[in-house]
Amino acid sequence: MTESGSSARSSSFTIEGRRLVLPAQFRAGSSMTGIFVVPTTRMRSRLAGTGFVPAEIAPGRTLMGLNCVHYVDTDCGAYEEIAFSAFILRHDRPPGRVPYFATLRDLATAKIGSFAWRLAVTTTLSRDAGKQIWGFPKTVEDLVYAERDGSATMAWGDDSREVLRFTVPTRGRRTVREISPPVYSMLDGVAHVGRLTQSYGNVGYHRHGVQVAIGTGHPAAEELRSLGLPKRPVIAVSNGTLNFSMSRSTPLG
């Protein structure tokens, strides 16, 4: 896929009576991410109909991200978010790349592309903005974020049952450089790409103290089970502070 000419879509939207101007600003919050190795064949089923291709790190093995964000101050207000994301081959990748090594290099340098096939949020404004502006598959769900005893937990409930609980230590003092990887989506049935420019502070990298619990009987839980979770992530990252800027998305041809 290649990037087409400039989009005719507006850079200003009015949703639920609020005017949103791109790039959208996400000024404050915290987040935690787990990166998992999963079977490529199972990830392909999550990407069916999109044209996106999983980025492999070894034969038959690819990566997924479990991303949880506690937004405190954004153009869409305060809300919680959980994303199930596939790491995919970039549309603008140069020819002659070395298989597997190129994926690991892109991951290490924060240049790898991602596609969220499931996004749970806690407000209708964040849901509708995500769907209408970028084509993100957002749904409103019961998510609860809490910090306690040096760890942060994002929990997803459905009535009286638990869908997902993800806990990551919050220790971290690093500040990382600004990154702006491509973020892919399907808007009106067409593949699009945008840029999520990200800055983080109080960053920590964790192998121990990370917990993933998955319920049963809910579609989101069954998706994770089909990918081999729950299991320990390859790495988990906690970000004590964040600042994001999300561009308009552009169609791919």
pLDDT tens profile 29-72: 999 999 999 999 999 999 999 999 999 999 999 999 999 999 99
Count up the domains in the chain and report the number.
1
State yes or no: pLDDT of 85 exceeds 50.
Answer: yes
Q: For 147-183, write each residue's pLDDT tens digit.
A: 999 999 999 999 989 999 999 999 999 999 999 999 9
**Domain ranges, residue 88:** 12-251
Residue 6 included in any domain: no
- Asked, for residue 7, whether it belongs to a domain, the answer is no
Measured CA to CA, the distance from residue 138 to residue 127 in angstroms comes to 5
Long-range contacts of 16-21 (CB under 8 A, 24+ apart): 16/124, 16/125, 16/128, 18/75, 18/76, 18/125, 20/75, 20/76, 20/129, 20/133, 21/75
pLDDT digits 0-9 by tens, 196-247: 999 999 999 999 999 999 999 999 999 999 999 999 999 999 999 999 999 9
Q: What pLDDT is recorded for position 2? A: 53
- Residue 1 domain flag: no
92: domain CATH number?
2.40.400.10
pLDDT band at 94 (very low <50, low <70, confident <90, very high): confident
Nearest Cα neighbor of 40 from 56, 17, 22 is 56
pLDDT in tens, 117-149: 999 999 999 999 999 999 999 999 999 999 999
Residue 163 covered by a domain: yes
pLDDT level of residue 3 (50, 70, 90 thresholds): low
Instruction: Indicate if the pLDDT at residue 98 is higher than 80.
Output: yes
C-alpha neighbours within 13 Å on the C-beta side of residue 218: 17
96 domain-assigned:
yes
In a domain, 209, yes or no: yes
Give the list of residues 6+ apart from residue 14 with CB closer than 8 angstroms, or none.
Answer: 20
234 phi and psi, to 5 degrees?
-60, -40
Q: Do the domain assignments include residue 5?
A: no
Q: What is the pTM of this model?
A: 0.94
- Separation CA 241–CA 253 (nearest Å): 36
Q: Is residue 156 part of a domain?
A: yes
Predicted confidence band at 84 (pLDDT cuts at 50, 70, 90)? very high
